[in-house]
Amino acid sequence: MLKTFPKGGIHPPENKITASKPIKRLDPPKVVYVPISQHIGIPSKIIVERKEKVTIGQIIAKSGGYVSSNIHSPVAGTVTKLDKIFDSSGYKKQCIVIRTDLKDQSNFELIDSPLKTDIQLSKKDILQHITDYGIVGLGGATFPSHVKLNIKKDKHIDCLIINGVECEPYLTADHRLMLEKAEEILVGIEILMFALHIDKAIIGIENNKKNAIANFKELTKNNDKIQVAALKIKYPQGSEKQLVRALLKREVPKNGLPLDVGVIVHNVGTIFAIYEAVQYNKPLTERVVTVTGKTIKDPSNFWVKIGTPVIDLINEVGGLPEDTRKILNGGPMMGKAIKNTDVPVAKGTSGILVISKEEAERKKCTNCIRCNECVFVCPMGLEPYLLMNLTEKKMYETALNEDITTCIECGSCSYVCPSHRPLLDYIRFGKSIIKTLEIAKDKK
- Binding residues for other proteins, rule: CB under 8 A, are 84, 86, 89-92, 336-337, 339-340, 360-362, 365, 422, 425-426, 428-429, 432
Q: Tell me the C-alpha distance between 243 and 260, whole Å.
A: 15
**Least separation in angstroms between CB 432 and other proteins:** 6
The closest alpha carbon to 134, from 124, 147, 121, 123, belongs to 147
Nearer to other proteins, 161 or 352 (CB): 352
Q: State the nearest-atom distance from the C-beta of 418 to other proteins, in Å.
A: 18
Instruction: Say if CB 283 and CB 55 are below 8 A apart.
Output: no
Instruction: Give the chain's radius of gyration (CA, Å).
Output: 22
Distance in angstroms (rounded) separating the CA atoms of residues 413 and 420: 10
Q: What is the DSSP string of 244-298?
A: HHHHH--PPPTT--GGGGTEEEEEHHHHHHHHHHHHH---S-EEEEEEE-TT-SS
262 vs 422, beta carbon nearer other proteins: 422
User: Which strand (E) or helix (H) includes residue 191?
Assistant: helix 182-196
Residue 209 or 421 having the CB closest to other proteins:
421
> Please, which residues bridge with residue 23 across strands?
301
- How far apart CA 333 and CA 327 sit, in angstroms, is 13
Task: Write down the least CB distance from residue 47 to other proteins, Å.
Answer: 23
From the CB of 2, what's the least distance to other proteins, in Å? 36
DSSP letter assigned to residue 405: G
The CB-of-314 to other proteins minimum distance in angstroms stands at: 17
Residue nearer to other proteins on the CB measure, 186 or 424: 424
Q: Which is nearer to other proteins, 91 or 370 (CB)?
A: 91
* One-character DSSP codes across 153-175: TT----EEEEEE---SSS--HHH
Measured torsion, CA atoms of residues 337, 170, 268, 154, in degrees rounded to the nearest 10: 60
* 288 in Cβ contact with 347 (< 8 Å): no
Least distance to other proteins, CB of residue 272, Å: 31
Residue 46 backbone dihedrals phi, psi, to 5 degrees: -70, 130
The minimum distance between CB 362 and other proteins, in angstroms, equals 4
Nearer to other proteins, 216 or 426 (CB): 426
By C-beta, is 230 or 423 nearer to other proteins?
423
- Give me the least distance between CB of 48 and other proteins, in Å please: 20
Cis? peptide before 236, omega within 30° of 0: yes
Say if residues 1 and 373 touch (Cβ distance below 8 Å).
Answer: no
Minimum distance, C-beta of residue 413 to other proteins, in the bound complex (Å): 14
Residue placing its CB nearer to other proteins in the complex, 305 or 326: 326
Could you give the CA distance from residue 323 to residue 311 in angstroms, rounded to a whole number? Answer: 16
Question: Which of 117/432 has CB closer to other proteins?
Answer: 432
Residues 169 and 235: their CA atoms lie apart, in Å, by 9
